[in-house]
Structure 1
């Protein structure tokens, strides 16, 4: 069932699995504020029984990043140009970027597990969108690159936190500062990719992983995801306490004992 199809984004739901597709292959799924608004809307209208969200893209490239028209004097039609944003107040500029970031944050909701199926180029905003997902399954032709610094900008679409969490500070800095390509073998070796498969097998691998993720009871997966997300910010003792609290809730739930 298709729930959304606009601005280069299509959302379809099949039972507990939702699929968000970047659907502008002719332009290599370049990104724009309109696309980000559509992605945000997709997150807001997900049915409550969805447990797994797959993020995929049509064509040879996952996403070539921000639409280059954004860098032109007139910007993207109907949107504030970079020049407009630069001359706006701090509050207006902060609000605008926060609005853009909304498209990237909902993928990590505790009640969902998100899988990015990534093929070809995932550049800049495309790289950050792939990083927004919990898990990345990549085709063997994948090429990640963070090109913002070469444009005089910084990665501001929520990508820096997961990049450092996955790679560590030094490698994340080197990748961002040089803008170099990270190919499939390095992505798999360093943990950027959970799995690398031949391009022809990408959809099948994602379907298999989705089915496996649905195997465990939902509440157990939700609690486990929340524990893992909180682990980095906790001391060892705090994490032990969080585990005890979560297990108490699970045991009582399994025994049919209410709060």
Structure 2
């Protein structure tokens, strides 16, 4: 496959991706800051909780709740109620931080509630490649609740409450791909992408912290946490052919890597 053919594949993939459409959704805010999107039915349920107020055409978290700690406690209790009522699926017992544009944590909340409430989460994605251009891709385990069996980057994972992107990078590389710390140190940040789309369980909104990681030719990733069923090493033209088999987020991160590879940057 020529470079032009690869660019055509990438362009086709871009055309097949749906635009984020907020039609029929209501926004909600925290201290005047846009926070998330919910359906009208869920908006009614949130108002019943007495933690939210009507504001404009949407909702606002009641400022009388207090600061980040009190907000976190109240929202976590609400999330547990929503789980018991069937609004939230796939409970993880793991918290994410919701941060404002200045990087300040405004509250932390159960991970699985983020999509339900349309909140922006954060994740790391790593392109693991070798110098001849081969890129390592993983296949997500079939038991995963999100995108089972789809192709993914070498490593991808959500940034848990209290973690920095670098903390998550080290942890996920070790758990998902068996990459030792001495190799993980070669990962370099290459940008942040934002992924937004509607899903059956709410709104997926995530900042993807992207890294490129050069790996030795004789290194083979090994999964240690059961979340990846297999890894395969593909050449860039093969990767371009597989974009449609990848998760949307992984494909977006991979497309950016393919662009750098075509430009001779990796």
- Is the structural similarity TM-score above 0.5? no
If asked which structure has higher relative contact order (CA below 8 Å, sep 6+), I would say 2
Question: Higher strand proportion, which one?
Answer: 2
**TM tier relative to shorter chain:** under 0.3
